[in-house]
Chain A
Amino acid sequence: MEIIMPKMGDAMSEGKVVRWYKKAGDAVKKGEPVLEIETDKVNLDLEAEQDGTLAEVSAAEGEVVPVGGRLAVVLAAGEKAPEPSRRATDRKDSVKHSTGEYGEAVEMKGPRVDRAAAPPVAANVVAIPAAGGRRRSSPLARKIAADMGVSLDQIQGSGPNGRIVASDIKNVGVRQAPSPVAMKAPGGQAGAPVLHAQSVPLSAMRRTIAKRLAESTGPIPHFYLTADYDVTNLLSMRTQLNEALGAKLSVNDFIVRAAALALRHHPAVNSSWSDDAISQHGEIHIGIAVSTPEGLITPVVRNADQKSIADIAAEVRSLAEKAKNRKLQPHEYQGSTFTISNLGAWGIEEFTAIINPPNVAILAIGAAEARPVVNQERQIVVRDRMKITMSCDHRVIDGAAGAEYLKTLRQYLEQPIRLLL
């Protein structure tokens, strides 16, 4: 508990410490005088308001302290010390002049307090005031928000003390503009959320996570999550559809659609990293790793979440053919927002894939195999299983977020009727 300079009458703005009865480290009892202060009218003793230890003496005898300023801290047993009060710190400056007859470029090191500067503000500390509190915002930001009909209430400010600045509003404006996806009648999944393009400003924590992880493992800090899916129903449905339609749908076509639909629930996975912000994309374009004699290329199925499995199958086949003949146009292999690599046809049980920048995640699809598993009735049964490993960019996706995506993916793969809705 702090002892502060009390306000004794309206006119009082400061008071002086006359003497300390206790010194730091002394035990004090509730009601016991700790120090004497002097105001412009009276001298009086200030008492401890609780039993404890005088942990900090914040003002020396003779020092003048403003009303409300901390004089001392009394800690009860087990109580933790409050943050030390902020003090101006001297900065070491390198001083250089290079103009006119001053121009002999004198350089020197020395302490200089820049009183002209605003008080230091920790970079990117975002303080969101309590509901109903005033939101700090720049005049320009307010003007832009009013012009765009955007409310400041839900915007996170990236400036000092959470100040909302113009760039924060502009990013929100992009999100609130009707996106092409929202305009179209969704070609898939009633009830699935609609994505919006948006730029999520980097929080201080997100910046730190990004920096630290990148330092430890290279430009993209990867981590990997593997899930084992029951694809018995999916394989069965594929057989039925191929027979009924006379089609040649591959397992991968189902996975492309499932992955795309699952992305609509997890915009953070369908995004890109940059040093200033994470761009969440408003559309879902799935890159599909195709091996060619020259090497790997990833043609892109655009708006895959809005296409039927049959459409995806036809498109992938055409793209793969072009890829093998080196006929892909740039627009057919650029602009993916997420990538799938499938080595199931090679009998690979599971593997990890390297993220395809600027994507922040990739799925590595293993082979579907009949395997003995223990079912809910604790019986051993034969089921078709498939392992999928997701590589995540940890700058953007944390472990739980990646796991949530794989969990959503499970709904689509294990209840494949959803893929037809």
Chain B
Amino acid sequence: MSEMSYRDAIRAAMMEEMDRDPSVLIMGEDIGIYEGTFRITAGMLKKYGAKRVIDTPIAEAGMVGTAVGMAMLGLRPIVEMMTVNFAIVAADQILNHAAKIRYFSGGQVDIPVVIRGPHGAGVQLSAQHSQSFESFYAHFPGLKVVAPGSPADAKGLLKTAIRGKDPVMFLESAALYGMKGEVPDDPNFTVPFGESRLAREGRDATIVSWGRMLQLSLIVAEKLAKDEGIELEVIDLRCLRPLDMEPVYASVSKTHRAIVVQEQWKPFGPGAEISASINERMFDELDAPVARVTGEDVPMPYARNLELLATPHEEHVVAAVKRVLYRE
């Protein structure tokens, strides 16, 4: 184990896989000479050269289309989006090609493409660059959608993504890049997809979250345990597709209450899917309606104070917990 930032864990995962497998390469805007807008790819051009660390034009559809072609011919490309928001320029390549070619080819052709980049709000990138896309991409069969909430999971999940045979949307929390944590050094350390994790054991209510909101939820859980003796169980989904709800169901059958914490807009968001799944499976176990904590239903403001107001904060989670506990 060594202490490592979320940013360095992502770089370490890519470099270990590039060392291990010569078919792995990365392409993106300003990732080579400039070493990445968020410095994720620092040092990689120097180490692996311009054939495997490819600076592209500003042409996301072209980048993903090229990557899909490379994957069809046996390479394992990683596409870095300067922010995941820009991937919507390549939505046709992602949704209609990467996600469907195995199906169309009768299972003959896999598309091992990882599309990754900073995702979500919290770093003052304004309305076009701060969005959350979990529900957008997780809606489509054929894609995998991953959202790590810690440095260790960032490394382990990214390695699984690179080694896999599916197109993966790898959603990194921009606001967590500087977060430090213990990360296994073992080059064979991976975290499998579709295994939600019990991040904190509790008894009174279940919080379901991922990404940056996981860290927010854990902070609230410690605070409520200390101040009010409320013991929250926190489940880290880690993957939105495949979505492993079993730990959530097990937890809800214990606590009889659930709160989903998601960063952005409430309508049709992941919280709705998770809440509906709990209702379908655990209806008779619920002692209160499933609560959702979400961001405000507005385009993300640039101003720091307004961005803070538009995203969930600790008091919102506390209020939702008390609501499901009937302790308002």
Q: Which residues of A contact B (CB under 8 A)?
A: 93-102, 106, 108, 110, 112, 114-118, 121, 123, 138-143, 158-160, 165-166
Instruction: Name the residue among A97, A100, A160 with the largest chain B CB count within 10 angstroms.
Output: A100
Closest partner residue, chain A, to B217 (CB atom): A99
A106 and B124 CA atoms in complex are apart in Å by 14
Do B284 and A143 touch across chains, with their CB atoms under 8 A apart? Answer: yes
16 other A-B residue contacts (CB within 8 Å) besides A99-B175, A116-B266, A116-B292? A94-B315, A95-B309, A98-B219, A101-B123, A101-B175, A101-B176, A102-B175, A115-B296, A116-B294, A116-B320, A117-B319, A123-B328, A140-B284, A140-B287, A142-B284, A166-B256
Instruction: Give chain A residues whose Cβ lies under 8 Å from the Cβ of B313.
Output: 93, 95-97
B212, CB-defined interface residue at 8 Å? yes
With A102-B212, A138-B286, A140-B285 as given contacts, are A114 and B219 in contact (CB-CB < 8 Å)?
A: no
Instruction: Name the residue among A95, A106, A121 with the largest chain B CB count within 10 angstroms.
Output: A95
Closest partner residue, chain A, to B296 (CB atom): A115
B248-288 contacts to A (CB < 8 Å): 256, 266, 283-288
Option from B297, B309, B314 in Cβ contact (under 8 Å) with A115: B297
Closest partner residue, chain B, to A113 (CB atom): B296
B20, CB-defined interface residue at 8 Å? no
Instruction: Give chain A residues whose Cβ lies under 8 Å from the Cβ of B314.
Output: 96-98
Q: How far does the Cβ of A45 sit from chain B's closest Cβ, in whole Å?
A: 38
B88, CB-defined interface residue at 8 Å? no
Instruction: Give chain A residues whose Cβ lies under 8 Å from the Cβ of B305.
Output: 106, 108, 110
Q: How far does the Cβ of A103 sit from chain B's closest Cβ, in whole Å?
A: 8
Option from B178, B179, B286 in Cβ contact (under 8 Å) with A140: B286
A376 and B285 CA atoms in complex are apart in Å by 64
Do A100 and B304 touch across chains, with their CB atoms under 8 A apart? Answer: no
Instruction: Give chain A residues whose Cβ lies under 8 Å from the Cβ of B177.
Output: 100-101
Q: How far does the Cβ of B43 sit from chain A's closest Cβ, in whole Å?
A: 21
7 closest residue pairs by CB, A with B: A140-B287, A100-B176, A100-B175, A99-B215, A143-B284, A138-B287, A102-B122
Instruction: Give chain A residues whose Cβ lies under 8 Å from the Cβ of B311.
Output: 97
Instruction: Give chain A residues whose Cβ lies under 8 Å from the Cβ of B308.
Output: 95, 97, 106, 108
Instruction: Give chain B residues whose Cβ lies under 8 Å from the Cβ of A123.
Output: 328
A102 and B291 CA atoms in complex are apart in Å by 24
What are 22 pairs between A and B in contact, CB < 8 Å? A95-B309, A95-B313, A97-B216, A97-B314, A98-B219, A99-B175, A100-B179, A100-B215, A101-B176, A102-B175, A102-B212, A112-B309, A115-B266, A115-B296, A116-B292, A118-B289, A118-B323, A121-B328, A140-B284, A142-B284, A165-B287, A166-B287
Instruction: Give chain B residues whose Cβ lies under 8 Å from the Cβ of A97.
Output: 122, 216, 308, 311, 313-314
B301-325 contacts to A (CB < 8 Å): 304-305, 308-309, 311, 313-316, 319-320, 323
Do B286 and A96 touch across chains, with their CB atoms under 8 A apart? Answer: no
Do A117 and B315 touch across chains, with their CB atoms under 8 A apart? Answer: no
B83, CB-defined interface residue at 8 Å? no
B173, CB-defined interface residue at 8 Å? yes
Closest partner residue, chain B, to A104 (CB atom): B304
A298 and B311 CA atoms in complex are apart in Å by 59
Option from A99, A115, A117, A140 in Cβ contact (under 8 Å) with B219: A99
A160 and B287 CA atoms in complex are apart in Å by 12
Interface residues on B, range: 35 or more
Do B316 and A114 touch across chains, with their CB atoms under 8 A apart? Answer: yes
Do A165 and B328 touch across chains, with their CB atoms under 8 A apart? Answer: no
A159 and B305 CA atoms in complex are apart in Å by 36
Instruction: Give chain B residues whose Cβ lies under 8 Å from the Cβ of A98.
Output: 219, 314
Q: How far does the Cβ of A142 sit from chain B's closest Cβ, in whole Å?
A: 8
Instruction: Give chain A residues whose Cβ lies under 8 Å from the Cβ of B304.
Output: 106
Q: How far does the Cβ of A178 sit from chain B's closest Cβ, in whole Å?
A: 26
Instruction: Give chain B residues whose Cβ lies under 8 Å from the Cβ of A160.
Output: 326
Q: Which residues of B contact A (CB under 8 A)?
A: 6, 122-123, 173-179, 212, 215-216, 219, 256, 266, 283-289, 291-294, 296-297, 304-305, 308-309, 311, 313-316, 319-320, 323, 326, 328
Option from A110, A116, A141 in Cβ contact (under 8 Å) with B293: A116
Q: How far does the Cβ of A366 sit from chain B's closest Cβ, in whole Å?
A: 45
Option from A99, A139, A158 in Cβ contact (under 8 Å) with B284: A139
Q: How far does the Cβ of A106 sit from chain B's closest Cβ, in whole Å?
A: 6
Option from A94, A101, A139, A141 in Cβ contact (under 8 Å) with B283: A139
A97 and B309 CA atoms in complex are apart in Å by 10
A85 and B309 CA atoms in complex are apart in Å by 28
A96 and B315 CA atoms in complex are apart in Å by 8
A116 and B178 CA atoms in complex are apart in Å by 29
Instruction: Give chain B residues whose Cβ lies under 8 Å from the Cβ of A106.
Output: 304-305, 308
Instruction: Name the residue among B6, B283, B293, B308 with the largest chain A CB count within 10 angstroms.
Output: B308
Instruction: Give chain A residues whose Cβ lies under 8 Å from the Cβ of B319.
Output: 114, 117
A188 and B178 CA atoms in complex are apart in Å by 75
Instruction: Name the residue among B173, B216, B288, B293 with the largest chain A CB count within 10 angstroms.
Output: B288
Q: How far does the Cβ of B4 sit from chain A's closest Cβ, in whole Å?
A: 15
Q: How far does the Cβ of A261 sit from chain B's closest Cβ, in whole Å?
A: 38
Do A141 and B287 touch across chains, with their CB atoms under 8 A apart? Answer: yes
Option from B176, B296, B316 in Cβ contact (under 8 Å) with A99: B176
A290 and B122 CA atoms in complex are apart in Å by 69
A245 and B269 CA atoms in complex are apart in Å by 83
Do B122 and A100 touch across chains, with their CB atoms under 8 A apart? Answer: yes
Instruction: Give chain B residues whose Cβ lies under 8 Å from the Cβ of A115.
Output: 266, 296-297
Instruction: Name the residue among A94, A106, A110, A139 with the largest chain B CB count within 10 angstroms.
Output: A139
Do A116 and B316 touch across chains, with their CB atoms under 8 A apart? Answer: yes
A114 and B317 CA atoms in complex are apart in Å by 11
Option from A101, A112, A138 in Cβ contact (under 8 Å) with B288: A138
Instruction: Give chain A residues whose Cβ lies under 8 Å from the Cβ of B174.
Output: 101
Q: How far does the Cβ of B155 sit from chain A's closest Cβ, in whole Å?
A: 16
Instruction: Give chain B residues whose Cβ lies under 8 Å from the Cβ of A121.
Output: 328
Closest partner residue, chain A, to B328 (CB atom): A123
Do B326 and A165 touch across chains, with their CB atoms under 8 A apart? Answer: yes
A118 and B313 CA atoms in complex are apart in Å by 17
Closest partner residue, chain A, to B319 (CB atom): A117
Closest partner residue, chain B, to A164 (CB atom): B287
Instruction: Give chain A residues whose Cβ lies under 8 Å from the Cβ of B328.
Output: 121, 123
Do B285 and A139 touch across chains, with their CB atoms under 8 A apart? Answer: yes
With A101-B122, A101-B177 as given contacts, are A95 and B285 in contact (CB-CB < 8 Å)?
A: no
Closest partner residue, chain B, to A117 (CB atom): B319
Instruction: Give chain A residues whose Cβ lies under 8 Å from the Cβ of B266.
Output: 115-116
Do A165 and B316 touch across chains, with their CB atoms under 8 A apart? Answer: no
A96 and B223 CA atoms in complex are apart in Å by 13
Instruction: Give chain A residues whose Cβ lies under 8 Å from the Cβ of B285.
Output: 139-140, 143
Closest partner residue, chain A, to B214 (CB atom): A99
A303 and B164 CA atoms in complex are apart in Å by 72
A112 and B296 CA atoms in complex are apart in Å by 10
Instruction: Give chain B residues whose Cβ lies under 8 Å from the Cβ of A158.
Output: 326
